[in-house]
């Protein structure tokens, strides 16, 4: 349990298959702003031209942006597989046991959202006995007045009570995530902080992060990690390069590089429930989208960003203004007399 709790609360950590797994993906989404929409991740212990992927994750998404299917491989062999399902405000992601031919479920993640669609609770269960699931830890989210993540509390279930074992506190400056302070009660070096550094010339472009912990137990915080980011032309993060400090010498050396990619013809792999008579154009869009429906009638629409946050909603109209949206991929949910339908579109 200790290692899972440390993974859940720690800040950025490039650790092969652990880094491309659903838990760390979810937390990285909160810790790193402006990650490019992607349907695959790959990790290498080398960087740049020497990059050779040793761990990969390929996935599809549900309509709310949570993972639907995810296949994790190391050195070409499948080491993990996940299947998601959506039920109202709750999303369940189950990890399939690879040791018995994929016949059992070894772990379960349950994501719960509040009335506004923001993440409120994430529960992690393990099937250690083979017959029942035990709750290992819970992540609880609180938000500030600007609807930004303010605090993540990590709790372990002991008996019938949830006992806090760690925290992540988020601080903002000029509408940007500035730093994260964290405490891990089950870790020898129990606390630390992460500082984000942004470009002085390009607004909102994250160029470097530095993590500080007391590595040598002298009571002083040491530079434990230095993280650099690669970007595309839209200033979205496409890769994370991490250097770790040796706890004895405090010298930084390359730990690895994590890349975010799109492998499915510029699609992020969202599985859609669509009609053959329903379409949206122009796609990609610049200022507006038009919903072309030959049969279905809709009463309301909702637009989600790639991480499942609602960005627009209202009474249905065939022409919808998207001019104020940031560049990226969005999910349009349509509701009417029949079953809800979803379409995805790209905003330039």
Domain coordinates of the chain in residue numbers? Answer: 2-261, 278-347
**Quick one: residue 206, left, alpha or beta (phi over 0 = left, psi -120 to 50 = alpha)?**
beta
Q: Rounded CA gap, 85 and 287, in Å?
A: 33
So what CATH class is 278-347?
A: mainly beta
What length does the chain have?
A: 348
CATH number of 2-261: 2.40.128.720
**Whether the domain at 2-261 and the domain at 278-347 fall into the same CATH topology:** no
Pairing of strands 119-126, 288-293: unpaired
Cα 252 from chain centroid (whole Å):
27
pLDDT at 121: 94
Distances (CA, A) of 302 to 117, 253, 289, 332: 11, 46, 13, 6
pLDDT at 123: 92
Structure tokens at 90: 């709750």
pLDDT at 16: 47
Q: Rounded CA gap, 25 and 40, in Å?
A: 11
Q: Which of 80, 84, 50, 46 is nearest to 64 (CA)?
A: 84
- Are the C-beta atoms of 302 and 79 separated by less than 8 Å? no
pLDDT at 4: 38
Q: What is the pTM of this model?
A: 0.70
For the chain, 348 residues long, give each residue's pLDDT as a single digit of tens: 233 344 444 444 434 456 678 888 888 888 888 898 888 899 888 888 888 888 888 888 888 888 988 888 888 788 888 889 988 889 999 887 665 555 568 889 999 998 888 899 999 888 876 678 888 889 999 999 999 999 999 898 888 888 888 889 999 999 999 999 988 765 555 588 999 999 999 999 999 999 999 888 888 999 999 999 999 988 899 999 999 999 999 999 998 899 998 765 434 554 444 455 677 888 788 888 888 776 667 888 888 876 566 789 888 888 899 989 988 778 888 887 566 777 778 888
3-class state of residue 340 by DSSP: coil
């Amino acid at each position: 349990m200790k290692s899972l709790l440390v993974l859940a609360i720690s800040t950025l950590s490039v650790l092969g298959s652990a880094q491309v797994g659903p838990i760390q993906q979810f937390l990285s989404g909160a810790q790193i702003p402006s990650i490019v929409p992607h349907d695959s991740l790959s990790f290498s212990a080398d960087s740049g031209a020497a990059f050779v992927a040793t761990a990969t994750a390929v996935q599809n998404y549900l309509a709310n942006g949570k993972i639907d299917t995810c296949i994790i491989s190391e050195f070409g062999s499948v080491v993990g597989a996940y299947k998601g399902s959506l039920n109202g405000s709750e999303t369940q992601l189950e990890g399939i046991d690879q040791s018995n031919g994929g016949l059992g479920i070894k772990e379960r993640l349950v994501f719960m959202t509040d009335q506004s669609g923001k993440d409120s609770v994430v529960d992690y269960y393990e099937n250690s006995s083979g017959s029942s699931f035990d709750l290992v830890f819970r992540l609880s989210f609180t938000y500030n007045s600007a609807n930004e993540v303010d605090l993540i509390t990590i709790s372990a279930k002991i008996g019938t009570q949830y006992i806090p074992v760690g925290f992540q506190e988020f601080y903002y400056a000029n509408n940007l995530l500035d730093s994260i302070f964290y405490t891990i009660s089950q870790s020898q070096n129990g606390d630390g902080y992460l500082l984000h550094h942004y470009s002085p010339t390009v607004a909102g472009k994250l160029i470097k992060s530095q993590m500080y912990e007391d590595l040598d137990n002298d009571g002083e915080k040491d530079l434990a990690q230095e993280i650099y980011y690669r970007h595309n032309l839209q200033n979205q993060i496409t890769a994370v390069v991490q250097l770790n400090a040796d706890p004895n010498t405090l010298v930084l050396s390359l730990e690895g590089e994590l890349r975010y990619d799109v492998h499915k013809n510029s699609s992020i792999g969202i599985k859609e429930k669509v009609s053959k008579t329903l379409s949206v154009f122009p796609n990609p869009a610049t200022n507006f989208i038009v919903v072309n429906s030959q049969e279905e009638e809709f009463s309301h629409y909702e637009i989600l960003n790639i991480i499942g946050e609602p960005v627009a909603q209202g009474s249905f109209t065939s022409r919808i203004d998207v001019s104020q949206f940031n560049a990226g991929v969005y999910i349009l949910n349509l509701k009417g007399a029949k079953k809800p339908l979803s379409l995805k579109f790209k905003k330039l």
